[in-house]
A = this chain, B = another copy of it.
């Protein structure tokens, strides 16, 4: 099986190996707008975090928006997304209401998980976004199972599973990719190689330069993309999604990118050279797309400004909604353990008869 590595992104909007159509102007604008909103949302979240308005740790993807937006923007509601800890924004791209997302940050009763998970670990059942655990790479394996079921059910839904460079060292990563290959499953593995796993540089993670190469071990295509080029990312993801939908099996997409901030909201990231950070900031995916749209006469500062303002308002409303939402009741700690209720069992230990029954 042919394995592509490092397809150039430059030609992405004007040609496609498989003969796909050109990307419409509307789509280009939508890609930009979505990235911008993701950025605004996460900067908002970080600001709130700094003011200690919500608790727990947040993992920002600022700088990596192109990879997420390019991969997830065209997904259908029925398609599943398997996010990692850093993919809070996949929820937004897929269409989760902001109220729900900010309630997640605040751990309120209005959050999809009713206050159980850490702030960034957001899932959403109605749109088939797996509620993430923290176990690195575990989402890939569950995603693989969804893809298996899609295949069994003979529908054309697909799965997009996100992970980071660090995740590639874990056995789980390997088992998911290998299994997907053996069964030709409709799944796309998007590995956001941001060069660091917490404080560990990629050279201590793997001996290979391009993670996409690892797909060769499984016998399906792997491709390295400039993960800060949303158009390239979109194009490559589009092809992979088409392949998956039509029974062509999995693809591994390595998006080379960079996180601007620390691993999480408590990490000053002193292990990275300031020059490295600065160099990557000049490759800001949003600024790059802005230049690109400007060249194509698709961009005006007014349009951007208007978006910043109107989306800013939406964010404020969502924050307001979250902050006004009630805390969960302490006793809800006992809910959703099983399909049956355990409150009686736990609360009144003298009432011995379990409250559940079949």
Per a CB cutoff under 8 Å, which of B170, B171, B213, B218 touches A206?
Answer: B218
**Chain B, Cβ-Cβ closest to A168:** B178
A146-189 near B? 1/0 per residue, CB < 8 Å? 00000000000000000000001111111100110110000000
Q: Does chain B have a CB within 8 A of A102?
A: no
- Total copies of the chain: 2
Q: Does chain B have a CB within 8 A of A16?
A: no
Cβ–Cβ < 8 Å partners of A217 in chain B = 208, 213-214, 216-217
**Chain B, Cβ-Cβ closest to A172:** B171
Cβ–Cβ < 8 Å partners of A220 in chain B = 207
Cβ–Cβ < 8 Å partners of A312 in chain B = none
A175-213 near B? 1/0 per residue, CB < 8 Å? 100110110000000000000000000011111100001
Interface size on A, residues (CB 8 A): 26
**Chain B, Cβ-Cβ closest to A3:** B216
Per a CB cutoff under 8 Å, which of B173, B207, B216 touches A174?
Answer: B173
Q: Does chain B have a CB within 8 A of A219?
A: yes
Distance in Å from the Cβ of A248 to the closest Cβ of chain B? 13
Known pairs A206-B219, A217-B216; A175 contacts B170 (CB<8 A): yes
A172-B173 Cα distance, complex, nearest whole Å: 11
Cβ–Cβ < 8 Å partners of A204 in chain B = 182
Cβ–Cβ < 8 Å partners of A182 in chain B = 203-207
Given A214-B216, A216-B216, list of 14 further CB < 8 A pairs? A1-B207, A168-B178, A171-B171, A173-B174, A181-B207, A182-B204, A182-B205, A206-B219, A207-B220, A208-B217, A208-B218, A213-B216, A213-B217, A216-B217
What are 27 of the A-B contact pairs (CB < 8 Å)? A1-B207, A169-B178, A170-B171, A170-B175, A171-B173, A171-B175, A173-B174, A174-B175, A178-B206, A181-B206, A181-B207, A182-B204, A182-B205, A182-B207, A206-B219, A207-B218, A207-B219, A207-B220, A208-B217, A208-B218, A208-B219, A213-B216, A213-B217, A214-B216, A214-B217, A216-B216, A217-B217
